[in-house]
Amino acid sequence: MTHLLVSPQQMKLVVEAEKTGTPLVYLPLHRSHLDYLMITWTAWHFGLRLPHIASGDNLNLSGLGAVLHSYIEQLLGKGLSIEFFLEGTRCRFGKSQLPKHGLISNIVKAVQERKFMALFLPFYF
């Protein structure tokens, strides 16, 4: 890969949203291991705070899941950003998989309860 094309107009909107304290929720499709690296690089390049990355089935562990959900809610409540893969795992056959609902459901519920606002950013590389 020699180039990464990013829409400057779209990134300007993202930068402005972050300046207001709105947490960014990065939602890439997990087609390769470059996905999370490219998001981190793009955020850094545009002067955005780097996202916290949630990964794995740790949120499903009894006891620990509730603690991690609370931690993620606190991060977003402080205006920090998070990144996770809706599909839960990397696609190995080139097609998008059905999303897993756990983490996204908790974030949407917290937004609906007006605990914080969030800007959801779907990505595909």
pLDDT tens-digit map of 10-68: 999 999 999 999 999 998 876 667 777 888 899 999 999 999 988 766 666 677 777 88
One-letter amino acid at 122 equals P
pLDDT on residue 44: 94
Contact indicator for 17, 24 with CB cutoff of 8 Å: yes
Asked if residue 23 is part of any domain, the answer here is: no
Helix ranges restricted to H, 1-125: 8-19, 34-45, 64-77, 102-112
Distance CA 100, CA 59 (A): 12
What CA–CA distance (Å, rounded) separates 57 from 87?
A: 12
- Domain of residue 80 covers 56-87+96-117
- Answer yes or no: is 42 within a domain: no
pLDDT at 58: 60
Domain count, the chain: 1
Q: Is 124 a domain residue?
A: no
Task: Identify whether 66 is part of a domain.
Answer: yes
Give the total residue count for the chain.
125
Quick check: is 3 in a domain? no
- For residue 105, being part of any structural domain is answered with yes
